[in-house]
Structure 1
Amino acid sequence: MKVLISGASVAGPALAYFLHRNGFDVTVVERAPAARDNGYAVDFRGEALDVLAEMGILDEIRRHETKMRGTTLIDETGAEIGQLPAESFAGELEVPKRALTRILHENTSATVEYVFGDSISALAEHASGVTVAFEHAPAREFDLVFGADGVYSTVRRLAFGPHDEMLCHLGLSGAGFSTANHLGLDHTGLLQSAGTTAIYLFSAEDRDRLTVSLSFATDSPELDRRDRPDQEQAVRAAFARNGWQTKHLLEAMTTAEDFHFGSSCQVHLDHWSQGRIALVGDAAYCAAPTSGMGTSQALIGARTLARTLAEAPNDHLTAFAAYETELRPYITENQANGRAAVAMFGGAADSSGR
């Protein structure tokens, strides 16, 4: 059976591994020109460690552990007011995201076809499969198509509907970047939460670099669609009255080469599949970064989806239903935790989850 996966971050390569192991012919398409070499730290919790072990990469992943020692809570002047243990942010195991994506790609590149620098432009399902059009390559036929392409999933938009109908904004947006570690942090973090803003700083893998997160309350994810100057201006406006290190951090933001901006959103769908097309990871059920469960959900979801397909190889509808029935309670709990944690970072989530 020939299948296409959109997205080569975490959920996509993990799903590719398990599907190929079960006898599927797998192609992965990724908009980026190569395996992504960006992102900061990601963490694993609970069953996700079992997934890594089953893939045979847990020991290699452990060699990249950030070994964070905890986070200090500070007030508006920078004075210490409390401590959070390492597992609050780092889970049971934390590694740089670029290490994870590299290992996942290397673990599958010999058995899976990767198409970089391209993206799906249209999906046309018919009785025996799905005709997939691409932005650059010629159209191809697949038996099944999977969207593992993140919160703003192209597959979800094409097969399920507009993003705005699927996303629940949690009242929080923010910028992330790295700069010189002028505070001398060493495998530790600092968190300052003041009203509708929060600053989170940490240094782990590279002691000379400081990872910065500046988050603030917002009414919608509209800023995600703006260009960098507008996003920077929104950050400066939100932090205009903050003291401590804020002025220095805002100056560093302007020259950061790895600046990125995003809003904390959850994805809520009545169903994670539509005919021969199914979603996995953030594309299907993002619980927001505040949940700390995105990477774990991606790995566990990929293994679960592949297993249900292996158990019903000639009946994708039964397999997709089993995948959702088994996984949805776990996702529901993680999304509730993600909403509850937003206040720590300056947001004001809608507790209804919609």
Structure 2
Amino acid sequence: MKHTEKSRRAAQRPSLTGRLTGGRPAPKRTVLISGASIAGPALAYWLNRHGFEVTVVEKADSPRDGGYPVDIRGTALEVVRRMGILPRLREAHIDLRRLTFLDADGGRVASLDPHAVTGGVAGQDLEVRRGDLTDALHAAVRDDVEFVFGDRVDTLDEGAHGVDVTFRGGDRRTFDMVVGADGLHSRTRAMLFGPEERFHRYLGYCFAGFTLPNTFGLSHETVLWNTPGRAAALYAVGDGDAVHGLLAFARPEPPHEAFRDPRAQRDLVASVFADAGWEVPGMVAAMRDADDLFFDVVSQIRMPRWSSGRVALVGDAAYAPSFLTGQGSSLALVGAYMLAASVAHQDYTEGFAAYESGTRAYVTANQDQVGKGDAALFPTTAEALERRDAMLRGLSAAPPAPRGRPAHSALTLPESVPAG
């Protein structure tokens, strides 16, 4: 059921950039954002700060909570600082203290400080529950822009003076610009650029994520079991009664037949792990009963351009890097900032071009952190697994000193309007 959030204070607020014409402020440029996860609310915040009239439409009935923890690193930390939500996110930081690798029999290969493996910076980088990040973003902007939940864009028709939008709920409105922030499987992208297959880069893995009871005594840690081409992980973000489970496996081609059939997904995962040891049989049983199962392939979105006419894409819809990089949320936050800054003082044609030219190298550097089929956490051959384990045994408990400028910090933000 559709419902709309917007404060009266926001509706009456004058534009920060409007010029007086005949004693009245110039009309604000209007923007529709499709998607209210991470990139969408972040973009709404910055567009509002630049004086746009913003509407966010989201097919879910409310801001989404739950989900796996996400990382905020490098340049993205500066984005959330300028938004004023860094203190809140620091309070929500997950203090992951140990990452343990196991062999096929459940024997310990290595137990390390997580930063030694991820390349993160202790005391700076953030890891928070996805729901905590979406809550913080929504709270930062909900009083200033219009949110429409329980609805979605049905059609887009660009004309000389804007984009005519028909919503699934029946409403019709016209906007100066539209931005798709609707994720890896973006409907906006499909409407403007064609089928996902044109831009989808499969990285050779499938995964199933779910929650299960913490009967393992885990606290603030991740345990990862591997055999060639298979991995099972238990992730305890705190001392709670539940843990996140992950079952991942290599597969030459995506299992298209399973994407729309939850039973087929469960059967596929169960067949892959049928002879697995350690705690995997119990994880498979929990996966079959889980009401929050999320099944997908590990993939990236690679596009030659991120806009068409008055419509642009941001975040995973334009450049999903895959969870193997740990940079999906950070790219979404940085991309939102860059898009808003680029369109703030020029028309959409110049603004979209500036957004892409200023952001693409940063996006590509982060996407290139992982290659197809050779993710260090999920070796696909016995030889690769042996090399990985030897490397892990050689790592010290403390993370190595960073060399050069890491990809997650490879962009310096332009100045924008003051946060607050």
| Superposition TM-score tier, normalisation by shorter sequence | over 0.9
User: Does residue 78 of structure 2 align to residue 50 of structure 1?
Assistant: yes
Q: CA separation in 2, counterparts of 1:206 and 1:260?
A: 23
Paired AA for residue 302 in structure 1: A
Q: What secondary structure does 1:265 align onto?
A: strand
Cα gap change, 1:224/1:62 in structure 2, threshold over 3 Å: closer, same or farther? Answer: farther
Secondary structure of residue in 1 paired with 2:67: coil
Q: Give the 5 Å matches for 1:92-131.
A: 92-131=125-164
User: Which secondary structure state, in structure 2, belongs to the residue aligned with residue 226 of structure 1?
Assistant: coil
- What is the deviation of 1:90? 9.3
Q: Name whichever of 78-87 and 209-218 sits farther off.
A: 78-87
CA distances 1:73-126 after superposition (whole Å, capped 9, x unpaired)? 110111111234323459411011111111111111101100001111111111
Structure 1 contact 32–117 (Cα < 8 Å) conserved: yes
* Structure 1 residue 330 corresponds to structure 2 residue 362: yes
SS at match of 1:250: helix
Is the 2:37–2:134 Cα contact (8 Å) retained in structure 1?
A: yes
1:246 is matched with 280
Q: Which runs of 5+ in 1 are unaligned?
A: 349-354
The SS at the match of 1:66 is coil
TM-score by length of 1: 0.94
- Given that 1:192 and 1:198 are in contact with CA atoms closer than 8 Å, whether structure 2 keeps it comes out as yes
- Is residue 2:69 matched to residue 1:35? no
Aligned match of 1:260: 294
Per-residue CA deviation, residues 211-253 of structure 1 (Å, 9 max, x unaligned), is 1100011211525622211100010011112111111111111
Name the SS of the counterpart of 1:337 in structure 2: coil
- 2:396 aligns with none
- Contact kept, 8 Å, 1:96 with 1:205, in 2: the verdict is no
Tell me the alpha carbon deviations over residues 118-148 of structure 1, each in whole angstroms, 9 at most, x when there is no partner. Answer: 1111111111110011111311100000000
Query: In structure 1, what is the Cα distance between the partners aligned to 2:379 and 2:168?
Result: 39
Q: Which residue of 1 aligns with 2:53?
A: 25
* Residue number in structure 2 paired with 1:4: 32
Q: Secondary structure at the match of 2:62?
A: coil
**CA deviation string 1:256-283 (max 9, x = no partner):** 2221111111101110000100000000
Q: Which residue of the partner structure matches residue 352 of structure 1?
A: none
Equivalents in 2 of 1:287, 1:159: separation in Å? 21
Q: State the partner residue of 2:237.
A: 204
SS in 2 for 1:36: coil
Q: Residues 259 and 296 of structure 2 are in contact (CA less than 8 Å); yes or no, is this contact kept in structure 1?
A: no
Q: Distance in 2 between matches of 1:347 and 1:260?
A: 22
**Contact 1:292/1:338, CA 8 A, preserved across alignment:** no
Change (3 A) 1:126 1:347: farther
Aligned to 2:212: 179
Deviation at 1:205, TM superposition (A): 3.4
Q: Distance in 2 between matches of 1:4 and 1:151?
A: 19
Please give the secondary structure, in 2, of the residue aligned with 1:205: coil
- Checking the alignment, whether the CA contact within 8 Å between 2:185 and 2:317 is kept in structure 1 is yes
Give distance in 2, aligned partners of 1:90 and 1:335: 15
Partner of 1:15: 43
Q: Which amino acid aligns with 1:239?
A: F
Q: Is the 8 A contact 1:19 1:26 kept in 2?
A: yes
Query: Which residue matches 2:109?
Result: 81
Equivalent position of 1:189 in the other structure? 222
Q: Deviations over 1:37-68 (max 9, x none)?
A: 12120111101111011000000011111100
**2:343 is equivalent to residue 309 of structure 1:** yes
Paired amino acid for 1:145: V
Q: Is the 8 A contact 2:315 2:332 kept in 1?
A: yes
Q: Identify unmatched segments of 5+ residues in structure 2.
A: 1-28, 382-420
Does the C-alpha gap of structure 1 residues 242 and 200 become closer, same or farther in structure 2, counting only changes over 3 Å?
Answer: same
2-side partners of 1:223 and 1:215: how far apart?
A: 18
**CA separation of 1:185 and 1:321: change in aligned 2, threshold 3 A:** same
1:351 maps to which residue? none
Q: Is the 8 A contact 1:281 1:297 kept in 2?
A: yes
Q: Which residue of 1 aligns with 2:26?
A: none
Match of 1:69 in 2: 97
Q: Are the counterparts in 2 of residues 172 and 342 from structure 1 also a CA contact under 8 Å? A: no
The two structures have a TM-score, normalised by structure 2, of: 0.80
Flag the structure with larger Rg.
Answer: 2
- 2:24 alignment partner in structure 1: none
Distance 1:168 1:182, change over 3 A: same
Structure-2 separation of matches of 1:259 and 1:160: 30
Mapped to 2, the partners of 1:83 and 1:126 lie a distance apart of 59
Contact kept, 8 Å, 2:106 with 2:277, in 1: the verdict is no
SS at the partner of 2:164? strand
Q: Is the 8 A contact 2:152 2:168 kept in 1?
A: yes
The corresponding residue for 2:249 is 216
Aligned sequence identity (%) = 42
Q: Name the CA distance, whole Å, in 1 between partners of 2:60 and 2:380.
A: 31
Q: Distance in 2 between matches of 1:247 and 1:281?
A: 36
Distance 1:221 1:309, change over 3 A: farther
- What number of residue pairs does the alignment pair up? 346
**Structure 2 vs 1, CA of residues 223 and 44 (structure 1 numbering), >3 Å: closer, same or farther?**
farther
Give 1:335 shift: 1.2
Mean CA deviation greater in 168-177 or 222-231: 222-231
1:291 matched to 2:319? The reply is no
